[in-house]
Structure 1
């Protein structure tokens, strides 16, 4: 254990890792694995993917390894995390949607509980059994009941946020569904420190866990799921200052700039088109005060991304000082695309009322700081996903295609781009392959378990093959009625109303990642073949239909009211009052169509 781990400023951003130089352990023959997960990070939110945001740590990692440009995940958090950690489709793993948005009709089924089932095994459990130390610091959101916390799913040391999100400056819930922000340390309820800022704190904990056993020569698996950039979007002032004025040109200008940069970097092909989302507002129609406020909302977003990158850099510095970095494989990705739940007019009375009822303010001067509730609207979320269509929750490329960077011990890639299709269920099989650990076959721990469906990406990383999915291999996906199927270079897609029309469309997402040209009429044979493949996927993975009139935001409101009405009526009525502005803002967004 080294004597002085970190130095803090009052905001916790100018610290440097301090390491005792005489204590450098011998690296294990097996590689350490560091799995880093951003929350709601858009496809082009990193410098190495076309962003204006300063992300030197991750950009350097990209130059050391491989950037995947055609990697897909689930379009919201809990299903993505379930597949990431198990290699099993989210429906069979028990997490077809976040529990907060599941309808009662669906929750009658055992695999529609929104919590990780006992019929799957986490990569942490398998690595622990193979002699790895296993650690987690960050957002869990896969269950809090008996046997569901990460400390009971293979992680030896944990600090975990059980909820879908929370404040980044203090222990405070961000939506009325939660009475408090539910943090756990090694399976027990935990009180956050007074100087908490999420990205700094989680890296501190990751360093503490890794350092606690480093001298015994055993390798480690560390899972670091950040809160950044989930709402509320918050960052220290010194980072916000760097982005003031950067977004004064608006979301359309930003979307075009990112496209141009992504083409220059080779992330997307030249000459592609982008769709104009119906939820994107008219920047020029805003008055000067509105443009000023919108630009700062996005400035805080950029600042939060950079703060995450800064603190990840401290972890890398620690690993290098302790002689572990060269023997560590780092995997960085995001759980889904950018979040677009921010109201189009955040300065309106109804948009302010919800955050204020929870004790937050939305004032311009303090935006992003402690006590502030900040979000970005669908307009800037579309820019964060540039040049892709849609964003979080929707099965368009902007909701599902995110960055994936893999670099480290024994991997030859040096700044390589990989354009092969890959999916979130591939991460666990890849980690097992890189560490020489076998996947369970049929049974584990005395019980039957679901087989992993993901593919091992190591042959891609080793540059031994050009793709791991053949032209006829089909990968299906569904979330609350939004559906997709990937096969070769093509994608079958259906988006439910109000943003879509529920019709099936066909896209070549290699040549048209912006999903601008529907090929359904031009290629009817391919369309029918992929529709048949989707029907097989839905049957095999027990996909349930939505109840009539289902809407994910409406269901969130209903579930919150139901939970609160278990307490006295007065509390339920107060909750309804708190939720009303959120519902009004969502309905206003629907009217944009």
Structure 2
């Protein structure tokens, strides 16, 4: 009998490593809110994030990972493995309808039932599924975490708070509304700490149930209104008085040294509207320093919470077999503009509202251009750190992974790691095939199996990346083309020199948009696609060839004089240089029947002024509508004038186009012909109403 026991013990000892290898891994996804690509110490920052940095040191850092440019779309893509519009959350959580009252499928404001979430898939594979933190994918429409696969939850419908006394503090525990101080909440809490403590509580339940677990934590840090304990803020006061110019340069140099960016990529220039730090008064510098100190304190406290979670996993013997994925939902946030926002007596306390604004957001996204909302690299780039001692090869720990990845890949990775199966149908509904791929090959330094381009659209801003080539555009603006291998900071536009690439990639984007519930562009505004939105308040516009502005972005020409200056090279052929409006209201400058002509309509009645002699070569044309109805047109010494009864009586519903006339034509031309010459610029100045 003793011999049998010894043999059994020997056999068990031999098989135990095999059992360990087949044990399903735990998975933890940590998503933070409004943190820029360069804000972590391990991505070049001066901010203190030692716990996250340690995950990077022991794990893998992705240098070209992408989000969805905004919180709701990113969350929808992360949870479903689909592009956000496919999941129904192409914008925020407002439901958008067309003229007939039918909901746009891509803008329903909530996860749809043709998508399936990570916890729904992993739950079918035997996982214990839990969530803490910010949900924000349709609770206002009745779509809650417990309905989408999470078995344990402590969540906020949207966010907007850090302390229990905050007016927006409202929590849901396993689906039950418990306000800000109901059971089982502690009396005093800070949200970053709360998400971790309840995450560990749920993990304990999974361990007791002897199940692998999936935990998703949606941190609301460092999203506005930025709030943190006073002592945390105090430690950072004065640390940012170097200013954004020097701090950007220092981050950039650390990124080059670490191999995060190529030294051939230039640091994007400080935007023109952002003042040089040295131009500010000491009082202004102190205020900006205070804003950033609050941000740093919020980020530091979130990092501490990540450290508490990692230590909790280690104490429970779970760390080695847990895949941790850490990332941000969009780039740094420039909302509140150049000034930022500093409401309240004690900045950072529960009664204050702090936005760091555009100046510091430019630092957040070093070395890239633009911010949250945009599909330029500053808006869509996120750190991604993968930590998994049992699953990441030893030679990959501390390494940089430079293959591009996208938020749509998170579900595919979780399903792959868990050995689960992505369903064709779920709860009686056909499920949209997943859009992403597994990142697990990168854990072994193997090639990712991506065959399709990566796509984006948010608020009309759009992009497609195929290999190293990226096509990107602002809403109603022409495409720009960049080779990210040599210019990831997007400073050298190749569109004019490689029109065949622009055509090919734009067609790929159009095909994706047509198949993915993205269109019509502008549907995110809802009925009329923004036609009912208030017109632009600006009175001065500088425009380029190919620019298109919808009504909400176009000049508000109603009952205003206007002065238009166009610099172009004429070829002798007819064509429209600029138009705004249509057959009822608007104006256009065009070469029509060989003559340079300034057309005006209001309402419906058309008037014009033309130069008798044709124009050719490179010219500067000046067209004006004066307050008394006088119209003038000149090119050098050539001049013409006319008179009409009044100004344009209302701002047209149709938008503005440089180089064409896309709507019902303003002019009497039989067909609006696009301008075939070169348009250097068009400047428009509106008078007072």
TM normalised by structure 2 equals 0.70
Which residue in 2 is equivalent to 1:452? 434
Matches within 5 A, 1:57-206: 57-100=51-94, 108-144=103-139, 148-163=143-158, 165-170=159-164, 172-173=166-167, 180-193=168-181, 194-206=187-199
Which residue in 1 is equivalent to 2:265? 272
**Compared with structure 1, are the counterparts of its residues 103 and 393 closer, same or farther at alpha carbon in structure 2 (3 Å cutoff)?**
farther
**Compared with structure 1, are the counterparts of its residues 550 and 123 closer, same or farther at alpha carbon in structure 2 (3 Å cutoff)?**
farther
Which residue in 1 is equivalent to 2:521? 545
Tell me, yes or no, if the aligned pair for 2:89 and 2:109 is still in contact at 8 Å. Answer: yes
**Compared with structure 1, are the counterparts of its residues 463 and 161 closer, same or farther at alpha carbon in structure 2 (3 Å cutoff)?**
same
Which residue in 2 is equivalent to 1:438? 421
Distance 1:493 1:55 in 2: 32
Which residue in 2 is equivalent to 1:504? 479
Which residue in 2 is equivalent to 1:475? 454
Tell me, yes or no, if the aligned pair for 1:158 and 1:186 is still in contact at 8 Å. Answer: yes
Tell me, yes or no, if the aligned pair for 1:101 and 1:553 is still in contact at 8 Å. Answer: no
- Asked if 1:382 corresponds to 2:362, the answer is yes
Q: Which has the higher contact order (CA 8 A, sep 6+)?
A: 1
Tell me, yes or no, if the aligned pair for 2:94 and 2:108 is still in contact at 8 Å. Answer: no
Which residue in 1 is equivalent to 2:496? 521
**Compared with structure 1, are the counterparts of its residues 428 and 304 closer, same or farther at alpha carbon in structure 2 (3 Å cutoff)?**
same
Give the Å deviation of 1:343.
Answer: 4.4
Structure with more helix by fraction: 1
Which residue in 1 is equivalent to 2:468? 489
- Asked if 1:401 corresponds to 2:381, the answer is yes
Which residue in 2 is equivalent to 1:581? none
Deviations 1:280-322 (A, max 9, x none): 2332332111110101101111111111010111111111111
Larger radius of gyration: 2
Q: What's the Cα RMSD here?
A: 2.3
Which residue in 1 is equivalent to 2:410? 427
Matched position secondary structure for 2:470? strand
Give the Å deviation of 1:237.
Answer: 2.5
Distance 2:78 2:177 in 1: 25
Which stretch has the larger CA shift, 244-253 or 26-35?
26-35
Give the Å deviation of 1:374.
Answer: 1.0
Give the Å deviation of 1:377.
Answer: 1.1
Distance 1:233 1:76 in 2: 18
* 5+ long unaligned stretches in structure 1: 1-25, 174-179, 353-360, 559-590
- Asked if 1:48 corresponds to 2:31, the answer is no
TM normalised by structure 1 equals 0.81
Distance 2:241 2:135 in 1: 36
Deviations 1:370-407 (A, max 9, x none): 22211101010010000010111111111100100011
Tell me, yes or no, if the aligned pair for 1:68 and 1:403 is still in contact at 8 Å. Answer: yes
Give the Å deviation of 1:145.
Answer: 5.2
**Compared with structure 1, are the counterparts of its residues 281 and 506 closer, same or farther at alpha carbon in structure 2 (3 Å cutoff)?**
same
Which residue in 2 is equivalent to 1:228? 221
Which residue in 1 is equivalent to 2:294? 300
Tell me, yes or no, if the aligned pair for 1:27 and 1:324 is still in contact at 8 Å. Answer: no
Give the Å deviation of 1:491.
Answer: 0.8
Give the Å deviation of 1:529.
Answer: 0.7
1:242 to 231, 235, 249: 235
Tell me, yes or no, if the aligned pair for 1:27 and 1:217 is still in contact at 8 Å. Answer: no
- Asked if 1:217 corresponds to 2:196, the answer is no
Distance 1:232 1:47 in 2: 23
Distance 1:93 1:311 in 2: 30
Distance 2:61 2:454 in 1: 21
Tell me, yes or no, if the aligned pair for 2:166 and 2:351 is still in contact at 8 Å. Answer: no
Distance 1:104 1:243 in 2: 49
Distance 1:551 1:257 in 2: 42
Aligned length: 502
Which stretch has the larger CA shift, 87-96 or 105-114?
105-114
Distance 1:371 1:133 in 2: 38
Matched position secondary structure for 1:247? coil
Distance 1:516 1:468 in 2: 30
Which residue in 2 is equivalent to 1:7? none
**Compared with structure 1, are the counterparts of its residues 279 and 74 closer, same or farther at alpha carbon in structure 2 (3 Å cutoff)?**
farther
1:33 to 27, 37, 57: 27
Distance 1:485 1:276 in 2: 25
Deviations 1:346-367 (A, max 9, x none): 5xxxx67xxxxxxxx433xx21
Tell me, yes or no, if the aligned pair for 2:391 and 2:443 is still in contact at 8 Å. Answer: no
Give the Å deviation of 1:107.
Answer: 7.2
1:362 to 329, 344, 348: 344
Which stretch has the larger CA shift, 287-296 or 456-465?
456-465
Which residue in 2 is equivalent to 1:318? 312
Which residue in 1 is equivalent to 2:338? 344
Give the Å deviation of 1:198.
Answer: 0.9
